[in-house]
Structure formats: structure tokens, C-alpha cells
Structure 1
């Protein structure tokens, strides 16, 4: 109903509201102040409905629109209606949904309780959360869902929405994944030569999948260049031909005798037809012990030689145990490693090839050592969800080929092609 053209209210309905609205403010005393704080913390205020709730209730009973001086159109959520049973109406509703514009959020003062379950808002235990699609105010239990929003919202990651808007947006999520998600965008950072400062040194901590794709592309291209110049340092062709997948990690390691390491990266699987799956984000942390000292930043390329190795990276977490020989002096070093990995996805061995960037901390200016290494590798579900726009995405689905090759990962696929073909 258009509130600007609503009929005048019936006598005896809105005048009462005006009288309540125009009541003088209560006297501010220490007693009233502490009583109010106690009511907010304990939830005793829920026994009294808010002014906005009273107004909505009276309007519902009267059947007429409220006057503009009581509330404006901003005080009502603005999400499009739910789909109807008619196919034609469903198409119109879908079009309206995809063309929806960002709403104006309701002020926090417009509701003292959740607009869905009527739970009273309290500090810490029941806070206010705005639905990003309709602008309404809900408790955290009624706004758990996250969805991609239409194009005009200019949001590439799933946003928090209320339960009603989640049902509205669910039928168009696949379409929005193909149009507005991070995975569907063109990769903006695709230069890995020395004209770009970010290509000089990969960060051990990638904050997004886009950064992980750039880091992996940079590492693969750097290794391909060195392998072309010095064939003895290249990955053997026999190993590349039999690869079922590749994991690329950038790990920082430092310590004396006992070393600590931390880093992030991605894993990608090779399909039966020779094409590559979509990438899945991973993180690594571990400890090492042995005759070693110094610090290094290493780009690892792990060649997964069997489906079991790919499944190990598809699981929630897996452990790696192996022996390592490091020799780093200057900007480029060599590292040879063999390890065994076991987790909820399976058990398998893989080959590791790497290039190291050293930050000297020993008197001789070098990182040297022989050690036994243990590490934990886990998937980064939140990073995958933000990139693909799907809160339910799993590493197993990504590596099995359930998701198409993302447009944002094209530089990575070009680097893999240069290395493997």
C-alpha cells in the first residue's frame, strides 16, 4: 500500500497514539537510571513493546496506513515479495529481485526486539543485526544466512541476511555466483615480472583467494624460468606427467634448533581429461627440530602424484611428517624434501620443490640445516566461501570438478600450462 496516498485514519485510533507519543519524558533520576540499566541487562524491558511495535499493531487492527508524522517509509524493510505460484509471476519476481537496489537501513532505535522472533535486544547476549537486503533489524539467530546480493549492491562476497530474505535470494544464487562473485571477475593483478613490486617477494599470509592465486602464479612462473635456464633444477618431466594435482604454498620459517613455520597457499587438482579444477585455499603451520639456524621465506610446489594425495588435501585437516635439507645463501636457494601426509581425506606421499628467499640471522649470513619437520595443513573454508560466493562450498567439491574453472584464476591456469606442457 502506498503510504503517501493512504486514506485518513479512523477517529479514535491514531489520536491515542499521538497522545502516547506526546507524553512528557520521564524524570531523570539515579533510581530511574539504574532501573533502566537493570531492565536492559535482564531483559525485563521485553514486557513493554516498543513505540514502533505499538504503532504497527494499531495500524494492523485499524487496516489503514499510518500518518507520515509517526513514521516514514524508511521504517519498513524494502525487500521484494516472495515468489508466487504462477510461472509468469515467478519470472517477474525474479526480475524484480535481480534489479533490486540497496535499501536504507532502519535506525537502531526503530526496534527494541527482533522483527522476526520478537526477542528483546540485550547487550552481548542478543545484539542487533541489519539484514543487508531489506534493511530490517534482527537477532543473530534470525540472520544467520549469508547470500550474494544483486548486481546493484556491488558486493562480491556473501552478505548477512534475515531468514525471509535468504528464502527470497536462494533461487537466484547460482545466477549471482556466475555474475557477481569474486570468482567470476577478471584477475586485476596478473603481472609477475620485475615491473611489479608485489612479484619480488610473496607474502606468507594471503588474506584472500585472489592473493593466493597471484602468489601461486608468481611461484610457478619463477620456477618455470629457473627450470628453463638450469634444467638440473627443473621438476622432472616424468613427475609432471603423472601429477594428479599441485599445491603451492609460501611458508616463512625461523628459529635456532627449534624452528617455527607458517604460511598459506592453494591446491588444485588435475582432471582425467587433463584440465585443471578450481583452486581451494589452504593454510599450513608447523615445527621443526634439528641442527639448523636462521630464517627463510620459501615458495613450495608440491606435486601430488596420486588421487590419495589429492584427497588428503580435500579433507578438513591433515598432518605432514618428513625430513628436510636446507641450504640458503642470498636471494635464491634450493631445498629438497620428502614427506608423508595423513588426514581425514587419506594418506599419501608427495614431492616438494621450492625456491627460498633468505633473511639472514646467523653470523655467517646463511640459513643451513638438516631437520625433522612436522606440520598441519588445513583448508580455509571462509576464504573459499568468500571467493566462490557459496557458504556451503567444500574443498572436496572444488577439487572434484563440481565448480567450473573461475575466471579470476586464468593467470594461474596459464602458469600451469607453461610449467606442465
Structure 2
């Protein structure tokens, strides 16, 4: 069975708990599909008496770490099939989590991702940031990036995000939206990262889907955020109504910001530092630097996000498109943008595995092996950005896969990052 990871996001009071309850209530009524509900201890403690009763009546498990959650999920029952053979069957096929933002343990991301890779349906609900703070909860950006689909309850129509795996029509959707706005007399500007020019020379100044797509939108190739800022400064035509940015995942420049952040964010980040297993700290949008025996927490903010925040604040509609994860299934640097109020469209392709009809949410890279004269799956530790297409006779070929068929080579100690074995089910 194909697993799935869904994240429901919104502000406090936006109906997260009730939306999550709508997901599992039908299962309670039919009692046919085994499922389990978790709620973070902080979320439970802060809930009103009515909500606490709902949790209690639903037999929700109150937890505060990945280890506690895993001890409940990794429970098997013994069944006999028609032939009399005995087999282990996972007790729970669906998993629901409320208050996911309150987990400081980043291995929770790996746990839920692994559960989805093992065929379980996972639905997690949480807030993006403490109210009006601008600082995302540490677990949320990577969790949203790895999710197969996202439900947004608190939307900002001035920021649209189109994301997903390769060949899921992200650029095509962006071009169509920009053309639609232009036809309504909006003054629209578009930019694309210059690295994309290396893939299709004929697409150099256009945002399109495939190379033969007749519909496109003229875009300005740029390599840095500063080039976009300079272009906007020197733009002497009428007011800009909308800006589109394609291949946003290639804008990887970050700046470390040390500002007054909410105490709960500081404590959650420091919790990551104190975890015995720190293998997943790379998923955090924060960095801890110790000076004179004191911990200083910095926000690793993408420069492209600072520009987008400024544009949205000025009333400019911004639409961006880009990959949510790389060929390894890991988030790109722009993932904190998911925690801005926006509409998020997770695009899917069709799995390229022969005979598979599942939706593809992952990008897989194949690398040409000169010894075998054939393509093999790429290794985890290879260089992250390698320009390629789905056209053969290149050094690198990219394709789209579902969770079941997405795979890479995990040499040496990097097996810890393999979602199919890091948490055995």
C-alpha cells in the first residue's frame, strides 16, 4: 500500500484540531482501519476542557518525543492467512498527530517520513510560527517540504507557492498563472534562475513546462537575489503588480539572523542541541553558536525569503515555483518560505516505474557509470546540484518516482538517512 504524509497548517485558532478530527472521525465510525492518534503534551495541557475530553474519548496518546511515538506505532499483531501461514501485521495503518509544531526532537520528521515510506497514511497538524513572530517552529519547514500534500487553513493570497518533484508541471502552472494575470492587465515581471538555462538552451528566457510547451512567459535569467533587487530598482515602467520566480530552489544564499525570538523557539532549538541523536539537526532552520559559555540561536534565513517578505508587504503579489526536496528526498534551503502565510500547491507527476500508476512526489537521479556503460541510482553523498534532464546520453538523468519506487544508494554511515530503514516497521 502506498503511504502518504499530509500536513495541515494554520494559525492558532484556525481550526487545526477540528480539521484533523474530520480526518479520523469516519475511521472511528466504521472501525475497519486500525489507526492511532497522538497529541503533544504541551498541546494537550494548553487545550480547554472540551478539547481535552475529545482527546481522551478518542484514546489519543499524549507524547513529547519521537521515541514515545515510535513505541506506540511499532506494534505488531500476529495473523494467520488462508494458508495457515503466520505473519506479523502492523497494528496501525493510519497515524494522526496534533500539535506537531511543539516537537523539538527533529527525528520526529524522520519517523513520520519513514512511516509514509512503509505504506502508512500520516496526517500531522500544527502551527507555522508563534503568533506574529516571523520565526518558524523548528520542525515545520522540513516537515512541510517532505510532505506529499499540504492543507493550508490560514492563507495569504498575495503569496502562492507551487512546489513538488521534477516533471510535475510546476513551471507550466506558474506560466499559466502569470499569463492569466497579464490578460487581466496586471503588470507582471518574471525571473528564473540562470542555472536552468543549462538544461534547455531554447528555454533561456521563458518559463515553460517541457521544452516543446507552446505556452510560456518571458522571464529574466538571474543568478543571485541581488540581481532581482537591482532589476526592480531600475524598473522605470508603471507599478509592478505581480512577480513570478521560477526554480526558486536554486537560490541557496542564506544570512544568519540573531534577533529577539520567542522563548519557546529558543527552547525548542536548544532541545535539538541536547538530543542524544543529532543526526537530523541539518533539518533545522536554526543554528546554535556557543560564545563564552552561552548559546546564541541564529535563524538561517534565505535571502530570497527576505526579498519576498518585502514585496508582499508592499502589496505585490508573488508566485514562486521550485522543488520541495532534492534527489535524496531532503529539503532545499528555501524551505522556511513554507512557513510564511501563503497558498501552497503540491504538484505531483506520474511515477515513471514501468506499470506503476501511483502519483510521484519524489525526484530520482540516475548517474551514468562508464564501467558498466549504464545508468545507476545516484549515491547519497554525491554533489547535490547536477544539471540534467530526462533525456538519455547525459551524465545525469532525472525522473519522478512515488515513495515506493524512489531509491538512492546509501554508502557507509549515510544509511542513517535512509527513511526505509532508519525506523524499522
User: TM-score, length-normalised on structure 2?
Assistant: 0.23
Kindly name which structure, 1 or 2, has the bigger radius of gyration based on alpha carbons.
Answer: 1
Q: TM-score, normalised by structure 1?
A: 0.23
Higher helix share: 1
